[in-house]
Amino acid sequence: MTVTEITNSARALLDEATAALWTSDEIYMWINAAERDICAKTGCLESIEALTTTASQRHVSLATLTCVKVNSVELVESGTSTVLIGGEVNWKDTTDSVWKDTTDAVWKDYERTIIIPNAPLSTLRITPHHFGHIRIHEETKPKYWVQWGNYILIEPIPNDAYTLNAYVSIYPTDMMDAVGESPQIPYEFQEAIVPYICMMAKLKKRKYEDAAAKYAEYTILLQQLIDTHIRRIPSREIDIRVPDAVRTKR
């Protein structure tokens, strides 16, 4: 939906085809406010962002994501790593090695080199009260996390720079002020903008009961959208069961 389409829909419900009591600038302002409120309440604008840990530092700043404004963090995934097994390695002279390189011989381990890429691992969400009470077993790769404002706190404290994939819900980055622009939120959530505009318009007109009714309509619609598009729960068997027999009309 474009700003024009949203404005026309709102004006139709307000029974004001052309600007009189409610100016176009006011409606544009309410469109932007609605989009931000919908993002905050539903988490419908989603992104996957790469973060990097700092050695000996528990917190990872979300402020480094200059392209987005994070609403909430839903999941943190530890990045890929590589394990080296075996290898064709030249033995070197060391104080604790019984092997010695000489001018006419080089000792080698002729085992085959195998590189195994590890898939990213989902880390577990905890609370700040868990820090210091989890057995780590000398591990240093992040395994647990919690969001703390504009930071992600991780456990254990890393000893190196690790890559984290953060699955986040974000706020819109652009303000709409032109008739041809469209909201950044997914299309199915854009229908909730209209009752929000009507609520704000009724508040300006001091029609408080009408405004309360529109707000109730708005919040009920948001809950339906969350249940349909956002809530991530396992499917019930009854929802995915294939019938034993399918009867068709002839």
- Please give the backbone phi and psi of residue 71, each rounded to the nearest 5 degrees, phi first: -90, -60
Closest CA to 27 of 196, 162, 191, 247: 196
**Res 32: pLDDT:** 95
The dihedral through the CA atoms of 50, 56, 59, 61 has a sign that is negative
The full DSSP string for 92-116 is ---TT-S---BTTB--EEEPPPEEE
Going residue by residue through the chain (250 aa), what tens digit of pLDDT does each one get? 899 999 999 999 998 877 788 898 999 999 999 999 999 999 999 999 889 899 899 999 998 887 678 889 999 988 654 444 444 444 444 444 444 445 555 554 433 344 445 566 778 999 989 888 888 877 778 889 999 989 999 999 888 888 899 999 999 988 888 778 999 999 999 999 999 999 999 999 999 999 999 999 999 999 999 988 887 665 566 655 555 555 545 4
User: Is the whole-model pTM more than 0.85?
Assistant: no
Q: Which residues contact 216 (CB under 8 A, 6 or more apart)?
A: none
The reported pLDDT for the residue numbered 65 is: 80
Domain ranges of the chain: 1-45+172-231, 46-79+121-166, 81-118
The CA distance from 93 to 87, in Å, is 18
Q: Quick one: pLDDT at residue 132?
A: 83
- Tell me 62's DSSP state: S
Q: Strand 124-125 and strand 88-90: pairing?
A: unpaired
Residue at token pair 């600007």: 19
